[in-house]
Structure 1
Amino acid sequence: MKGLFVTFEGGDGAGKSSMLKLIGEELRSRGYSVLETREPGGIDIAERIRQVILDKTHTTMDGRTEALLYAAARRQHLVEKVIPALQEGKIVLCDRFVDSSLAYQGHARGLGMDEVYKINKFAIEDCMPEVTLFFNIEPSKGLQRIAGNEEREKNRLDLEALDFHEKVYEAYLHLLQQHPERMRSINADQPIEDVREAAMTIIQSFIPND
């Protein structure tokens, strides 16, 4: 059985990371073999790159440097962890992937979504997710969630102004229109059980031979 590659996308505070864990637990309870991972990170090399990218003291980091670091972490994560899991027939749940780079660096940083895609095309070759869940919430509400969550990891991107996060959101809406075959929008501004149910329904529809 070929595995299933599922990516979780959304602005900061959308709740995708928490939802990924809930979905992973439910899929396992149904007998599926699941790998949960994240970007940037998931493996030692990529986690070290993550520390560099998200360090709050690295405020002088150039936008292109940021995009290249994300692509480098993504490449290593794919070849070392994601692709082997898919070859084993696992359902891979990944917190962020290429769409994040297109939204954050491509649009919000003003590098150009096409330019950032070219960098990432080199990094990922042809490995794209079968389904991408976009957890849809207004940026201002997402940032309010972050402010009220003391346990959440605070990073350099959290220091960006609301305008930056609104550009990220704008980019995701554009990507949803561009890729209706794999991207699905889920209302993240509703009770967590409703979000979970909507996410599971979509994932279940993509699971082969089920």
Structure 2
Amino acid sequence: MIETFVVLEGTVGVGKSTLLAALAEELRDRGESVTTAPEFADAEVGQYLAQTLADYGHERHRERALTLLADTLASLSYQAETTIQPALAQGDVALSERWLDTVPVYNAPHVAEREGVAMAETLAEFRAAMPVEPDLTVLLTVDDATRRERQQRHRPELLDDGSVPDRYAERQQRYRDLLAGREDVLVYENDGEISTAVADIAAEIQR
């Protein structure tokens, strides 16, 4: 049995959710059994995280930096144990929107800023303890104009804060630095047709 776990990473506005659904449909059309995991776990830990991120602004996210980091790890570990691991055990392709690489990009910098602790050792131990590990991580990137156009359609509230473009560029660079040189990573410029992206990424999924 071949296990295949694919993660779509990237900042807000790069098309993760849209591509996840389209990629799952394409793989099913090819005869694969596919399990998908959304960004937030379908449990209290995931829903708290989703609500906090949706209801509060950037400053509150800084104030609750450690809580958000811990809850993100809890949400991901819940998905690993209840969704991804069982899917792989039965031979499914598992697709997830975000995984552990999101934590050093989004959460750990706020903890380091507030508490002076980088959390690198904690995250390394947590990664080692996870029962599943991605076979392929796809880092989706887009140019700023494309991102803003997508946010205007799907997350217009994020365009109200003038610091958003700077945070976007900063986080995209963090992703690039974090994932540079890793053999399990594909960096994909997702600014074209969805059908092209699906075909390109599906071709990278080895079964």
When the two structures are superposed, what TM-score results if normalisation uses the length of structure 2? 0.83
Unaligned runs of 5+ in 1: none
TM-aligned CA distance change 1:97 to 1:161, over 3 Å: same
**Percent of aligned positions that are identical:** 22
Q: Does 1:193 align with 2:195?
A: yes
**Per the alignment, in what secondary structure is the counterpart of residue 191 of structure 2?**
coil
Aligned structure 1 segments of 4 or more residues deviating by more than 4 angstroms: 153-160
**Which letter does structure 1 place at the counterpart of 2:89?**
Q
What do the CA deviations read for 1:33-88 (whole angstroms, capped 9, x no partner)? 100111222x2234323334313236524222211110111111211111111111
Q: Distance in 1 between matches of 2:105 and 2:159?
A: 13
Deviation at 1:122, TM superposition (A): 2.4
- SS of residue paired to 1:6: strand
* Structure 2: runs of 5 or more not aligned: none
| Counterpart residue number, 1:111 | 112
What do residues 8-56 of structure 1 show as CA deviations (whole Å, max 9, x unaligned)? 0111111121011111011111111100111222x22343233343132
Aligned-partner Cα distance in 2 for 1:116–1:52: 26
Match in the other structure for 1:36: 36
Query: Are the structure 2 counterparts of residues 81 and 157 from structure 1 closer, same or farther at C-alpha, using a change threshold of 3 Å?
Result: farther
Specify the code of the residue in structure 2 equivalent to 1:53: T
* 1:177 paired to 2:180: yes
2:126 aligned with 1:122, yes or no? yes
Residues 138 and 63 from structure 1, CA distance in 2 versus in 1: closer, same or farther, beyond 3 angstroms? farther
CA contact (8 A) 2:137 2:184 kept: yes
Task: Give TM-score, length-normalised by structure 1.
Answer: 0.82
Q: Residues 94 and 143 of structure 1: is their aligned pair in 2 closer, same or farther, counting only changes over 3 Å?
A: same
Note if 1:48 corresponds to 2:47: yes
Preserved contact between residue 64 and residue 111 of structure 1 (Cα < 8 Å): no
Aligned to 1:17: 17
Partners of 1:199 and 1:158 in 2: CA distance: 33
Across the aligned residues of Structure 1 and Structure 2, the Cα RMSD in angstroms comes to 2.7
Distance 1:158 1:40, change over 3 A: farther
Q: Distance in 2 between matches of 1:35 and 1:7?
A: 12
For the residue of structure 2 that corresponds to 1:129, the secondary structure is coil
Asked if the contact 1:8–1:20 (Cα under 8 Å) also holds between the matched residues in 2, the reply is yes
